[in-house]
Structure 1
Amino acid sequence: MLELPDAARDSDALRRPALVVRSGRARVLVLGPAGAVTADVVLGAAEPADTLRLPPATRGAVLIGLPDRQDDREEEDRIAGWVTSVPLPSATDGVLVAAGAVVDAVGRVPERGVAPLRSGWALPEELVGGRSAVTTTFAQPPAAVAVALEGGAGDDVALGVEGAERPVGRDGSPEPPVLVSDGPRAVLVFRLTGARAGTAVTVTTGAARRLYAVFAAVPATPDRDHGDREALAADPVTALCDAVSRLGVEALVPAPCEPGADLAEVVWKEG
C-alpha cells in the first residue's frame, strides 16, 4: 500500500504522477481523500493499459500482484466477491479488498485493540453481523449477483443496486431471485442488466440475519473467453446457481490474492 501524504494539497490536474507496470500484471486500487475507492483496474502488458495516472487528491494506492494469464483458474476467474470466513486486506477505514471488488460495511470499521485498523488483514464477519448495510462494488460489470444468508426469517433482507438494473416483470415488479441451498445457507441469485464497471450492490439485513457472502458472475473479456464458457454469458443466473450447487460458496469465491512465484514490476513516474 502506497500513502500520499500531500493529498489535502494535491490539486494540479495537469502534472500527474503515474504507476507503470513494466512486467507482469497488477491490480491497482486508488483511494480518494475520504478513503473511498476511485479506481479499481488491472494493469499489465496484456491488459488494455499498463499505466495509470493518479487523479488529484489521491490519498493512497493499493497494489496486488496477479498471476500470469495461463495460470488463472478457469471458472473461479469468472467470480468476484467475498465470504465472511476469508480474511481480506483492509485498505482504509472500513474498506476491504475482495476478489474483483471492494467491500464497505457502512458505519463500521475493523479494530485492533481500541484503535481502528487502517491497513492489515481483517475478517469480514467482524463488520457484517446482525443489523447491517454492506456495499460491494465490483470492478467489472456483474451479470448476476448472489447473496448468501444464514438465519433470519421473513422480509428482513433488502437489495439495493447502483450502476445496473434488475429486470422487471409484466406487473412492473422486479424479477424475483432464484433460491439455491448451500448447506445451512440460503443463496439468493439476482439477475442484473445494463451493468457497468463500478456497479455497487448494497445488502441490508435485519438483526436475526447473518450476511455470509456476496459474489457476482463477471463475463470474461474477449481475449480470455473460451467456447466452453459461453454458458455464463448466455444465462448467468443458471450458471451461478449450478456452480453454487456443485462447488459450494466457499470453494467458488476466490481469495483476493494468492501466493505464487509470479512477479510484477511497478514503478512510480513523476508527472
Structure 2
Amino acid sequence: MNVAQSNGQRSAAEESGRPAVPELVVRGLTVRFAGLTALDEVDFTVAPGSLHALIGPNGAGKSTCFNVLSGVYRATAGSVRLGRSELTSLSPHRIAGLGVARTFQNIALSQRLSIADNLMLGRHRLTRTGFVSAGLRLPHGRREERRHRERVREIAEFVGIAEHLATPAGLLPYGVQKRVELARALCLEPRLLLLDEPVAGMNGGERRQMAALLRQVRTGLGLSILLVEHDMDMVARLADEVTVLDFGKRIAGGPPAQIQRDPEVIRAYLGTGTGDPSLTPSPTTNHEQGGTQP
C-alpha cells in the first residue's frame, strides 16, 4: 500500500463525496509588534488541493503569516479559517490537530535521533496509547507503535529517504535533511502543508528533485500546499496562485504568469517599474527599513 492509497483522511472524504481538503481563507489579517505593523489587512484564499505561493522581498511579512497560521503568533485582527474552524484563537497543538503541518526555513530536526525516530515525532498527535501503556509496553501499545512505524516507512519510501531510516539526522547531507523535514510534516497526515523555503540552500539538482517531489506530494496525497519561496522559477512552475506581500501589505495576487508581469511586483523586487519579468530576487534584496518583521 502506498502513501496516497493509505491516507485515511482522503479516502473518507472521497467516500462521503466531500472535498478531501478544506479551503483556507485569510481575511484582514493584521499583526502588530510594539507599534510596528508586520501584516496589514492581508487577504488570500488557498483553494482545496491547490499549491499557493506566498512571495515577497525579505521582511515582507511571509514568515509572520506562517507563524499566525501555525499558532506561533496571535493575530492583532482579522480571520484565518480552515473550513469551518477559526485558527487565530487556537494553540499550535490544536491547529496541528486540525491537519496543519509545517516545515521551517532553518532545519529543525533532532540531530542525534535516527531518521525513523525523527519521523515518529511527526506521528505524535495521531498516537492514542497513553503514557502508562507505552511505558509498560502493553500489547495494544506495541501494536500501535508497529502501525506507526510501518506508516513512517511508507512515507520515507514516498519521499525517497527510506535507505537512511537508521541514520542519525546530523550525519546526512543538507539536501537529504530538507527531505526528512518534509517527510516529518507528512507524518502528521496533514490536510494543509505549510512549506517555508523548502529549497533554500540547495544546489540546482537538489532543487529540481524537491520540485518534482512537491508535485508528487500534491497530486498523490490530494492536500493543499502553501509555499513561501524565493526561487521564482520554482514558484512559476509549481504554483496555481501567487500572493505577493511587500512591507506587510498584499500588493498582488493571481496566476504566476500574471504576477510576473505586474508592475507593482517588479517594483517590489527590483526597486523600479521596469526590469526582468522573471523576478529572480538578488540575495541582497531586503527592506532595510519599514514597519515589518520577518
Structure 2-normalised TM-score? 0.27
Higher relative contact order (CA 8 A, sep 6+): 2
Structure 1-normalised TM-score? 0.28
Task: Say which structure is richer in strand.
Answer: 1
